[in-house]
Structure 1
Amino acid sequence: MKMTYSLVTRLAAEFIGTAIMVILGNGAVANVDLTGTKGEHGGWVLISLGYGAGVMIPALIFGGISGNHINPAFTLGLAFSGLFPWSEVLPYIAVQLLGAFVGQAIVVLAYKPHYNMTTNPQRILGTFATIDATSSRFNGFINEFVGTFILVFSALGITKAPFFGHNLGTAHLALGFLVMTLVASLGGPTGPALNPARDFSPRLLHFLLPLKNKGKSDWRYAWIPIVAPITAGIIAAFTYKSIFM
């Protein structure tokens, strides 16, 4: 029998799930990019694995409780398509943003000596937020849009398709491989974010913390990983629902 959870419980799941996603994902970035870590120069595959697990593990824990959105673009995409109540959108997004902020703070605590040792401001910022490798906001928008469209469209396909109808646990496991592949395949240009909470809250923390050698928080680029994923999420959810539901 399917259990029904209160909004408070579901919000707690979204908060914890988003925090775990940022800890495991940006923790992997910190392990690769910061000076003196055991995983320094570990490469993009290590980061892809970290982010894949960072989505898969919360999905397995909370997929049956809150839906494991952990992403404002996904929440808004569902709401615009009538698949999620508008009355719960703001609470979901609020705890997602807070969870990402707390998750990033834990990454900083875990890697603080290595932040102090790192002299490259871009590497420090890259452990918090996304940066377009060619300083092109146009390219960043395209990359984030395409990646998030595939993420939301595929996530709906995996969780709503008859193939996984009686085994959502396997579907949530597959979400981790989806994200891992997206980071491996489309992560080169921007990071990527694919998630406004994953970028905005850590970027805000980067701005607030007095980190040594941290440099600028690049707020001129910050709207890209917010607007592009939200736009893509809305269009992807509408497209999937229009064709397959």
Structure 2
Amino acid sequence: MSSSDIFIGEVIGTAVLILLGGGVCAAVTFKKSKAFEAGWVAIALGWGFAVMTAAYISGPVSGAHLNPAVTVGIAIKDDDWSDVPLYFLGQILGAMIGAVLVWIAYYGQFLAHLTDREVVGGPGAQDLKAVEAQEKGAGPVLGVFSTGPEIRNTWQNLATEIIATIVLVLAILTQGLSDNGKGLGVIGALITAFVVVSIGLSLGGPTGYAINPVRDLGPRIVHALLPLPNKGGSDWSYAWIPVAGPLIGGAIAGGIYQLAFA
């Protein structure tokens, strides 16, 4: 495949991934959404279907990596790093575009949520303290864009992202091994989607399972840039964990593949 195919395919595919994945987070978060409080199962299923849709769209063009951790794992598996920077560039740009599209699709809900006194509080002194805390940490809509831990423990949070990403990337790398390495074709995207749902249900509780550096970083940058009233902080002190964890996990998965399956 050509360089332009890789770049365009990853931009489009990752944009669709974040549009649908961020979209389900928005649907569950906003009180003015018909899916308000649909719960964690809806989010896990939504992200799984988002992966499936994005993979089917971009697979014929770029191979549908859609995730730097997957790209790193495949590079280690194939011992070929030549296209890695191009994949990374397309993925981060696509993730940012997808996050902007979520904002457009839920524009009215964002405004209603961020001007709701039950969400952002009133003008009292205690409310000002809450606003100051939001500015330093995660604002009230950051969860639509990026992940965050339920318990802030650096090593646990990092380990959770590493473990979950190893499962994802290893599942992708080993597809088709029982078929003499021919791969699973269109079925592969469906299987990967089910793996993502499984990870969300089983390992998503502690950190929200980024398992993809650009899935978290791209939308977090957009959150920081968008003109959202009362949006609070983008929680940059945590932002390195959903980037480093998946990259480490992808590399470990590639190493496991070389040791056990190559």
- Shorter-chain TM-score range: over 0.9
* TM-score, normalisation: structure 1: 0.92
The answer as to whether partners of 1:159 and 1:172 remain within 8 angstroms in 2 is no
Query: Aligned partner of 1:102: which letter?
Result: I
2:81 alignment partner in structure 1: 86
Cα deviations by residue, 1:96-131 (Å, 9 ceiling, x for unpaired): 000000000000111111111223664400011111
Match of 2:68 in 1: 72
Q: Which amino acid aligns with 2:151?
A: T
Does residue 177 of the first structure (1) align with residue 194 of the second (2)? yes
Partner of 2:215: 198
8 Å contact kept, 1:72–1:96? yes
- Contact 1:101–1:205, Cα closer than 8 Å, also in 2: yes
Offset, 1:87 = 2.1
Corresponding residue to 2:53 among 44, 54, 57? 57
Q: Work out whether 1:36 is the aligned partner of 2:53.
A: no
Q: 2:256 aligns with which of 213, 231, 239?
A: 239
Which residue of structure 1 lines up, in the alignment, with residue 126 of structure 2?
Answer: none
Provide the residue aligned with 1:138 in structure 2.
155
Q: Distance in 2 between matches of 1:164 and 1:38?
A: 44
Residue pairs, 1:89-168, within 5 angstroms: 89-118=84-113, 119=119, 122-162=139-179, 165=182, 167-168=184-185
SS at match of 2:218: helix
**CA distance in structure 1 between the partners assigned to 2:6 and 2:259 by the alignment:** 27
Asked which structure has the greater CA Rg, the reply is 2
Q: 1:182 to 1:214 in 2, by over 3 A?
A: same
Amino acid at match of 1:95: G
User: Per-residue deviation at 1:7?
Assistant: 1.8
On the 8 A contact 2:73/2:173 being kept in 1, the answer is no
Q: Which runs of 4+ in 1 moved over 6 A?
A: none
Question: Displacement, 1:164?
Answer: 7.9
Q: Residue 11 of structure 1 aligns with which residue?
A: 7
Q: 3-state DSSP class of the match of 2:72?
A: helix
Between the aligned partners of 2:180 and 2:53, the Cα distance in structure 1 is: 21
| Amino-acid identity (%) | 39
Q: In structure 2, how many angstroms separate the alpha carbons of the residues matched to 1:166 and 1:69?
A: 15
Q: Distance in 1 between matches of 2:161 and 2:25?
A: 18
Contact 1:14 1:95 in 2 (8 A): yes
Preserved CA contact (<8 Å) 2:6 2:86: no
SS in 2 for 1:183: helix
Could you say which residue in structure 1 is the equivalent of 2:21?
A: 25
Quick one: which amino acid aligns to residue 78 of structure 2? L
> Structure 1 residues 62-71 or 164-173, which shifts more?
164-173
Once superposed, what is the RMSD of the aligned Cα atoms? 1.7
Q: CA deviation at 1:52?
A: 0.3
Q: For residues 167 and 73 of structure 1, what CA distance do their matches in structure 2 show?
A: 20
Rounded to whole Å, the distance in 1 between the matches of 2:260 and 2:220 is: 37
SS of equivalent to 1:133: coil
How many aligned residue pairs are there? 240
1:145-166: CA deviation from partner (whole Å, max 9, x where unpaired): 1110100011111254427836
1:44 is matched by which residue type in structure 2?
W
1:210 positional shift: 2.1
Q: Which runs of 5+ in 2 are unaligned?
A: 114-118, 121-137
Given residue 22 of structure 1, which amino acid in structure 2 is its aligned partner?
I
**Any idea what the Cα deviations from partners look like across 1:40-78, whole Å, max 9, x if unmatched?**
001111111111011111222332432211011111222
Cα distance, 1:22–1:126 mapped onto 2, change above 3 Å: same
Structure 1 stretches of 5 or more lacking a match? none
> One-letter code of the match for 1:110?
A
